Amino acid sequence: MSPRRNRPKDSGASGRSAEEDRSGRYGGWQSTEHWRGDEWNVRHVAGASAAGKTYRCPGCDQLIPSAVPHVVAWPEHSGVDERRHWHKACWNAKDRRTTRVQRSRNAPRF
């Protein structure tokens, strides 16, 4: 008896591009969206990929706790320093929010 094949004989390549594999590694999928006259890369991150890390959402200025699914967005023509971690609801409501976020006096600026 021969071992079981995991792929059909005619499949050849897996069918996924390198870009899809890279985004899939973080437990989510990546897309491009148009916002504020720019193209934005948007990656959906699964909660398991964010274990042990906390981020501050620029939409609501609240912490995104460890292991919570969220969105990472950055302008297409910028570096890694421009990446921001958003709650999914905040990213979806970004056009309905005001541009000025009120912070308390002692709140850190992220």
Render pLDDT for 10-53 as a digit per residue (tens, 0 to 9): 544 444 433 444 444 455 688 888 887 889 999 999 888 778 88
Place of tokens 């699964």: 46
Place of tokens 């021969």: 2
Say if CB 40 and CB 73 are below 8 A apart. yes
- The candidate with the shortest Cα–Cα distance to 83, out of 74, 71, 93, 96, is 74
- Is this structure's pTM higher than 0.75? no
Q: How far is CA 49 from the centre of its chain?
A: 11
Q: What is the pLDDT of residues 43-73, one digit of tens each?
A: 999 888 778 889 999 989 899 999 899 999 9
